[in-house]
């Protein structure tokens, strides 16, 4: 399998791309990127693809989460650790309470570029290019910051490399050891009901671990975890420069991350994103919003995975709580009837965004839960497998989504609203979600 050149890809037509004023500067950045070492190893992508095949078969559950948009400034040890520990905690809750293997994937180490509904932003009569994520321009509302700067692609590469390095150290160097699960949350268990619930579960797991130790069992799985990176493959310059031929298999892999997905705004069947991702051997996802028809989904599948490689394609639906029960059954039925086997994953975030009167973009925790419930109900009725959860979250105690156990109100949002893009679940809301999903999974 060959891959089209970057120019050919642009000629096909790509939505949501930066406009670089200086082509020489752009080419220099892309050439530098092409020489950089891969961020992930193709063999790891194969391992994840096999795990996604298990998800598609109904034998495992995907947990995928992280920021809507990573920022260069946010690449700190604390931030990375906090995101990892909330995902690990959620994974333990899901694994223990539902007795299902959980495939753990971060929305991190590459999630720096954002599709936008408008190319420009106007404030008090001044119009500038919209913020498209730190991979493209800066958030500050000045002409200098909002310029599309190709040098940022290199900054993103280095930031992703630093993030992945730390994640690899944490997940294999002892931090992710199951016996550490209390330590992940010691600073907050005591003052929140969900923290107490987590601690009680931890005590049960401790007893099981003590038993295993007493009988001399010490499986490696207790000490390290498999954790994968993912992001939306949006900026062609970045993804193309990091697409390489694997020396083992002679196949192209996009080595910018283990799992790449195509967003709701770039899933045109004849567009450049679908073209590029159809050529790579990584496991990939496609976001499907309420306007996608079953025929769209089937055509996308045929184009993205003509050889029907198990685990290659995941459909991530993001319909909204008010639509999922109407739209998902028909989609699953027609796709299944076409003989297509995919992992079905719910993104209960992007169909449930609204603005409060005080001007914050937010999501209601209840709507998020309702969409997840709808997802489980539909799969139960059809006898199909609810394969996973794709969420925007942070390990910090931000106030960006309303509701949840601590009943955040619209007025509370001002307290700690830090996202540069979509609102994320905070740590307590994320753990609450994990317990609720575990109940839905085990109640099947």
User: Contact residues for ligand PEP (CB under 6 A)?
Assistant: 68, 115, 232, 263-265, 287, 318, 350, 422
Q: Token digits for 440?
A: 């839905």
Nearest-CB residue to ligand PEP?
A: 263
If we measure between CA atoms, which residue out of 134, 130, 147, 141 comes closest to residue 69? 134
Q: Is residue 54 classed as helix, strand or coil in its secondary structure?
A: helix
Residue with smaller CB distance to ligand PEP, 36 or 420? 420
- 425 near Co ion, judged by CB under 5 A: no
Task: Judge whether 264 is annotated as a binding position.
Answer: yes
Q: How far is the CB of 113 from Co ion (least distance, A)?
A: 11
Quick note: the x/- pattern for Co ion over 258-277, rule CB under 5 A, is --------------------
Residues 6+ apart with CB under 8 A from 399: 408, 412, 413, 414, 415, 416, 417, 426
Residue with smaller CB distance to ligand PEP, 400 or 422? 422
Quick note: the x/- pattern for Co ion over 18-57, rule CB under 5 A, is ----------------------------------------
Q: How far is the CB of 338 from Co ion (least distance, A)?
A: 29
Q: How far is the CB of 390 from Co ion (least distance, A)?
A: 10
Q: Are 347 and 356 in contact (CB under 8 A)?
A: no
Residue 258 interacts with, from Co ion, ligand PEP, none (CB under 5-8 Å by kind): none
Residue with smaller CB distance to ligand PEP, 2 or 118? 118
**Which pairs count as long-range contacts for 320-323, CB under 8 Å and 24+ apart, including other chains?**
320/290, 320/351, 320/352, 320/367, 320/371, 321/348, 321/351, 321/352, 321/367, 321/368, 321/370, 321/371, 321/374, 323/290, 323/351
DSSP labels for 241-290? HTEEE-TTT--EEETT-SEEEE-TTS--TTSHHHHHHHH--S-EEEEE-T
Task: Judge whether 265 is annotated as a binding position.
Answer: yes
CA distance 4 to 301: 20
- 401 near Co ion, judged by CB under 5 A: no
The one among 422, 425, 427, 430 contacting Co ion by CB under 5 A:
422
Residues 6+ apart with CB under 8 A from 403: 364, 365, 366, 429
Q: Token digits for 364?
A: 């209601």
Give residue 318's Cα distance to chain centre.
Answer: 13
Q: How far is the CB of 98 from ligand PEP (least distance, A)?
A: 25
Q: How far is the CB of 306 from ligand PEP (least distance, A)?
A: 24
Residue with smaller CB distance to ligand PEP, 232 or 370? 232
Task: Judge whether 350 is annotated as a binding position.
Answer: yes
Q: How far is the CB of 329 from Co ion (least distance, A)?
A: 25
If we measure between CA atoms, which residue out of 247, 363, 321, 301 comes closest to residue 56? 301
Which residues sit opposite 228 in a β-bridge?
A: 105
Query: What's the length of the chain?
Result: 444
Candidate segments 40-48, 134-142, 214-222, 419-427, binder of Co ion by CB under 5 A: 419-427
CA distance 139 to 145: 7
Task: Judge whether 107 is annotated as a binding position.
Answer: yes
Residue 318 interacts with, from ligand PEP, Co ion, none (CB under 5-8 Å by kind): ligand PEP
Residue 400 interacts with, from Co ion, ligand PEP, none (CB under 5-8 Å by kind): none
Task: Judge whether 392 is annotated as a binding position.
Answer: yes
Residue 264 interacts with, from Co ion, ligand PEP, none (CB under 5-8 Å by kind): ligand PEP
15, containing H or E segment: none
For the four alpha carbons of 7, 11, 13 and 19, in that order, the dihedral sign comes to: positive
Q: How far is the CB of 265 from ligand PEP (least distance, A)?
A: 6
Residue 287 interacts with, from ligand PEP, Co ion, none (CB under 5-8 Å by kind): ligand PEP
Binding residues for Co ion restricted to 237-256, rule: CB under 5 A = none
Residue with smaller CB distance to ligand PEP, 47 or 72? 72
If we measure between CA atoms, which residue out of 365, 364, 346, 366 comes closest to residue 355? 364
Q: How far is the CB of 297 from ligand PEP (least distance, A)?
A: 14
Torsion of Cα atoms, 315 then 318 then 319 then 322, to 10°: 130
Q: How far is the CB of 187 from ligand PEP (least distance, A)?
A: 28
The one among 68, 156, 181, 343 contacting Co ion by CB under 5 A:
68
CA distance 58 to 310: 12
Residue with smaller CB distance to ligand PEP, 52 or 100? 52
Residue with smaller CB distance to ligand PEP, 19 or 117? 117
> How far apart, in Å, are the Cα atoms of 53 and each of 50, 145, 308, 441?
5, 42, 11, 19
Cite the annotated binding site for phosphoenolpyruvate by residue number.
Answer: 107, 264-265, 287, 318
Cite the annotated binding site by residue number.
Answer: 68, 107, 264-265, 287, 318, 350, 392, 422
Cite the annotated binding site for Mn(2+) by residue number.
Answer: 68, 350, 392, 422
- Name the residues that contact Co ion, by CB under 5 A: 68, 422
């Amino acid at each position: 399998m060959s891959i089209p050149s970057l120019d050919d890809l642009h000629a096909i037509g790509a939505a949501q791309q930066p406009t670089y004023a200086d082509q020489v500067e752009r080419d220099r950045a892309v050439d530098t990127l092409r020489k950089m070492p891969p961020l992930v190893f193709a063999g790891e992508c194969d391992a994840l693809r096999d795990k996604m095949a298990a998800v598609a078969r109904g034998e495992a559950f995907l947990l995928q989460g992280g920021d809507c948009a990573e920022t260069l400034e946010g690449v700190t040890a604390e931030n990375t650790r906090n995101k990892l520990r909330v995902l690990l905690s959620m994974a333990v809750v899901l694994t223990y309470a539902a007795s299902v293997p959980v495939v753990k994937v971060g929305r991190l180490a590459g999630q720096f570029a954002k599709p936008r509904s408008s190319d420009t932003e106007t404030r008090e009569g001044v119009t500038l290019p919209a913020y498209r994520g730190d991979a493209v321009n800066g958030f500050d509302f000045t002409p200098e910051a909002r310029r599309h700067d190709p040098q940022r692609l290199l900054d993103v590469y280095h930031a992703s490399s630093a993030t992945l390095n730390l994640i690899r150290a944490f997940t294999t160097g002892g931090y992710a050891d199951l016996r550490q699960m209390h330590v992940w949350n010691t600073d907050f268990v005591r003052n929140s009901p969900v923290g107490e619930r987590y601690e009680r579960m931890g005590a049960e797991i401790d007893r099981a671990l003590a038993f295993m130790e007493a009988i001399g069992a010490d499986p490696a799985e207790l000490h390290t975890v498999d954790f994968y990176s993912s992001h939306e493959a949006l900026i062609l310059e970045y993804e193309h420069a990091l697409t390489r031929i694997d020396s083992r298999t002679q196949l192209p892999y996009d080595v910018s991350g283990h799992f790449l997905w195509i967003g709701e705004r770039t899933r045109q069947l004849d567009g450049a994103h679908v073209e590029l991702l159809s050529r790579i051997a990584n496991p990939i996802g496609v976001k499907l919003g309420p306007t996608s028809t079953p025929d769209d989904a089937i055509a996308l599948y045929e184009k993205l995975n003509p050889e029907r490689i198990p685990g290659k394609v995941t459909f991530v639906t993001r319909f909204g709580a008010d639509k999922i029960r109407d739209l998902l059954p028909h989609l699953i039925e027609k796709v299944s009837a076409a003989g297509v086997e995919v992992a079905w994953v719910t993104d209960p975030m992007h169909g449930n965004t609204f603005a409060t009167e005080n001007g914050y973009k937010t999501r209601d925790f209840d709507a998020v839960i309702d969409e997840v419930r709808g997802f489980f109900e539909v799969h139960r009725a059809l006898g199909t497998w609810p394969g996973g959860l794709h969420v925007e979250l942070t390990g910090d105690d931000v106030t960006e989504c309303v509701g949840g156990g601590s009943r955040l109100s619209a007025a509370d949002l001002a307290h700690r609203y830090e996202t540069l893009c979509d609102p994320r679940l905070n740590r307590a809301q994320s753990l609450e979600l994990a317990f609720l999903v575990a109940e839905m999974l085990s109640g099947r």
